[in-house]
Each structure stands twice: as C-alpha cells, then as structure tokens.
Amino acid sequence: MSSTLTAARGAPRRSGSVRATVTCASHQGLCRIIYLGYKTYEQRGRDDGGWDARRAGSALFRPGGHHRGDSEPAARPPRPRGPEREQRTHQVTGPAGRRCPSRGVPRSGARRGRTGRARQGLRGRARGVPRGQGADLFVSTPDTPLAGLRIVECATFVAGPSGGMALAQLGAEVIRVDLPQGGGDHGRWPVAPNGTSLYWNNLNKGKRSVALDFRAPEGRELLAALATADGPANGIYLDNVAGRTRLRYEELAERRRDVIHVHVQGKPDGKPAVDYTANAEVGVPDMTGPQDHAAPVNHVLPAWDFLTGMTAATGVLAALHRRAATGEGSGITVALSDVALAAVGNLGWLAEARLAGRGRPRHGNHTFGSFGVDFPTADGRRVMVLALTPGQWDALCAATGTTKVFTALEPVFDADLSTESDRYRLRDTIEAILRPWFEGRGLTEIGERLDRARVLWGPYRDTHEAATLALADPGSIVTEIDQPGVGAMVAAAGPLRWSGSTQPPRPAPLLGTDTDEVLSRYLGLSAAELGRLHDAGLVSGPTESQH
C-alpha cells in the first residue's frame, strides 16, 4: 500500500502557510485529509527537498495524526522539478513504514480488522474533507480559534448539548447525531406558536444535524465510524447516551488509538441524575428562599447542567492538548453529581457545614457573608444592591445620604462597617435604614443616583424586558436570527469577546438536515447506500424527521 502527498497549487517554496492533501490508497478507495497549518519547505541539496512535517503552528493539525494517533511525521518526498511544480505529487510511505489504513465502515460482510475481530457493516470509507470542499473549516480567525476541529456529539437536554454548542461557537464543526424521530429534548418547552422547540433550537445553534438510528447495529457502526474518522481534526466524541447500545471509550480506542471520548452522565456509578436531583442532594434548596419558609426551594436555572457542559468542553480541550503533546487519546467521564459536589465544595460550603455540625440556614435575598439585599421602589419595581468592598460601601452611603447615620451607629454596635463581616452581622439594621430611601423614589431616579456614585446594583426584570433591552443594545450578544422551522427567533452568541468582538449566532439545523452530506462526505457512502438506509428507516433527512 502507498500514500500520495499532494501540495496545493501555488504552495510557497519557503516557510509559510500551506495547504496539503494527503490521500491514503486502500482496497476500499481513497481517504483525503486537508491540512492547513504551517510547514517548512526545506532546501536539501540541489535536487532534493520536501515538506518538513515539523509544524511551526498548531500542534492540533500536525501531519501523521491521522495514523491512529501516531505522532511521527511522514517521510519527506523528493521535490519535483519543472512543470511538475504545478501539481506536486509524490509517493511516500506511512509512519514507520506502516500501512495507512482506511478505517471507514467495513464492506458488507465480515472482515478482519486490526484487532482481529470480524466486523459487519456498510461499505464505505472514512475520510477527511474532500479537495475543494470545506477548506474554510480549517481557517482559524481571532474569534473562531477552534476552526478545523470536528466533534461528533450524541447528547440530549442541557449538559452535553451546551458543551457542544460552546465548542461550535468557538469555530469547531459540531455534528449532532439524533435518532430519526429526534431525541427526548427535540420538542421540549419552551416552544414557538407552531410547536417547534425554542429550547432545542437555541441549545444547538451553529451545529450540523445527522438523524441516525444508532440503537440498531448498522446505525451504531456508522456512528462509531464518524466518531473515529481519520485525520488530526477528527476523533472527538461527546455523548450522554445511556444503556447497552452506547459507544464506550474502549471500543472506540480499538478503532483509533488517539480518540477523545467525553461521556456525560448523572452519577459516577452510572445511575441517572438531572440538575434538579443533583441540586437537591447537595443542599442548595435548603439554603434558598425566605427565612421563615420551611420547605426546600428549587432554583429555576439548570445551573449544574450548564456547568457540566462547560466542564465537558474543558475536558475536550484538555484532551486535545494531551493528544497534541503525546499522541495519546483520552476517555473522560463527567458526572453531573460530581460537578455539583465540586462546586459547593470549592465554595467552602461543605467544610462550613462539617465544622458547624449543621447546614446553613436561609437568608432570604440577603447575600451571605457581606451586605446585599433587594429593595422596593416607589413605582412598584425592585432593585438588588450590594456593597462587597469598602469602596462600594462608601459609594452606597454617599448615594443615599446615610454616611453620618452609619458612622454614628458603629460605636453603638462596636462595629466597623468597612468590613464585610460587620456589614453581614448588621445586615437587617442596614436594610431597615436604607429601605425608606428606596421606597421614596422611582426606578429611574434611583438608577441615576446610584450610577453617579458608582454603586453596585441592578434592577429586577422579567425575561420579556430583558430580551427587549438586549435587542435594543447594539453591543449586546443577543440578536434576532432567521431560524428554520421557527422564523424570527431571539438568540445569543457566545459570551467570549475576542479583542472586543464575537461571532454572531448561527441558526440551529433542522433535524437531519446534514445526514446525507455528512455520511457521504466523511464516510464515503454512495447515493445507493444512502437510499437503502433511508428505506430501512436507519437515517432520515429534515422532511422525514419532522413527520
């Protein structure tokens, strides 16, 4: 077997940015991978030279990474002369003289794989991006630093999809795989007037969608092939699938040694958990709500889900760095209950409870350990006001004209209100003194005075007002996009601003929009093979998925 290295037309002869296409010949066909990075074209004597595989750019795109994680570069090809420079094509061997395998879905019937096991499946070939298509996926801009990475996501609800969306907002190509009828979150509320889920569409912005029955053996084989596709930008799998049919790291690593698999689950032992159960188990509802309220109070925001999603995204990036440095893959498990325990532990709440011998009591809307509380206004609004630092405390006293009052109270209570601990100890007294000032003024006047004094505060709003104000703000990350299946939809971009700018939000795909294109481009399936899969109900496109 041989490999062919083809430098793109117009490639520089000296150090610089180049694009190269590596094609690996096998009995199944060709698999092509486009690299865009920095390689050095070295002069070696008069007639001899080649592409130096030692890159001067990102290690994520190093040559040789498509050989099951092997990090050693391919041998240098001889430099062509004369007209051949227009299309430089040379025969080279794979790393360490090894064959360059095409690890797509095997031909129909059994064949012996690298592990010696017989495999069944569709005829196809794993491939990178074909020449002339998708090259822009490898072009990184300041606010899309992950451009060129391809991540297969098979996850539902909040944690996994939010992690995948964070990576997509940074430029990665995230391919979400759902069952043909959609996952359990596909119709989840809130919904648009036509019944389309605003929840699903907002959590899957900027992704691609493949509708595939991965519970069936043939569909599961296709999913595994996508997750372990060749190329340094591939081999990244994020999921929260449960049950016997889920893909496990060990079997993915048999296909591709440097595969990265981040699996999100409820508890470390595999038992189920969701945000609301994890929140209940770490004691937060018993600290939430009015002081005289006996029953636990759940929070509305699924904070642990989002924190788990960001932890999963962090795991992907850490595993990529490890793969770039060592050539090794990673199997990572992120348990929602672990994330919640880590958070309350890192805040010192568990240590506090252990030392006190009891859980923390409720404080209503008071901020724990400092001064902060809500106040009603004369026009029926409410504001949240905090004084966490001495400067913020001085500003609050100056804005409300209470500096002399609190100065006089300090010796009475043997307190120093410039300290957080004393402000916290006297929180009820401070609130009682400040309340009449807020009750006697409207929100507009309060805002002007507090802003002038640089007080730390914020008005309470409902989500309608929040959306309206965000859309009216030209610097906001919130905008209105044309979402297929919905129409005009309010959506948020990623919160990271790179040198002050961020990419606008991209619409979510219709379920199954990219099924055929992804399976044909990356697995090499023919139109006939795709037709058979559609007829068998193993895959579907957007029209089929919505019926």
b/e code 2-30 from CB counts within 10 Å (16+ = b): ebbbbbbeebeeeeeebbbbbbbbbebee
For the chain, give the number of residues.
547
Whether residue 144 contacts residue 138, with contact meaning beta carbons closer than 8 Å, is answered with: no
**340: nearest Cα among 414, 426, 266:** 266
Element (H, E) at 264: strand 260-265
Collapsed DSSP state (helix, strand, coil) of residue 55: coil
Kindly name the residue from 258, 305, 338, 516 that is annotated as catalytic.
Answer: 305
461-478 burial by CB neighbour count: b if 16+ within 10 A, else e? eeeeeeeeeeeeeeeebb
Q: Which residues of 427-453 are buried (b: 16+ CB within 10 A; e: fewer)?
A: beebbebbeeebeebebeebbebbeeb
Paired tokens of 434: 């400040």
CA dihedral 453, 454, 455, 461 (to 10 degrees): 110
Tokens of 445: 């006047």
CA–CA gap between residue 68 and residue 89 (Å, rounded):
24
Instruction: Give backbone dihedrals phi and psi of 48, rounded to 5 degrees, phi first.
Output: -115, 140
Q: CB-based contacts of 292: which residues, under 8 Å, 6+ apart?
A: none
The whole-angstrom separation of Cα 410 and Cα 61 is 63
Residue 38 zone, left/alpha/beta (φ > 0; ψ -120 to 50; rest): beta
The reply to whether 394 belongs to the active site is: no
- The closest of 422, 485, 392 to 191, measured between CA atoms, is 485
Please identify every residue annotated as catalytic: 305
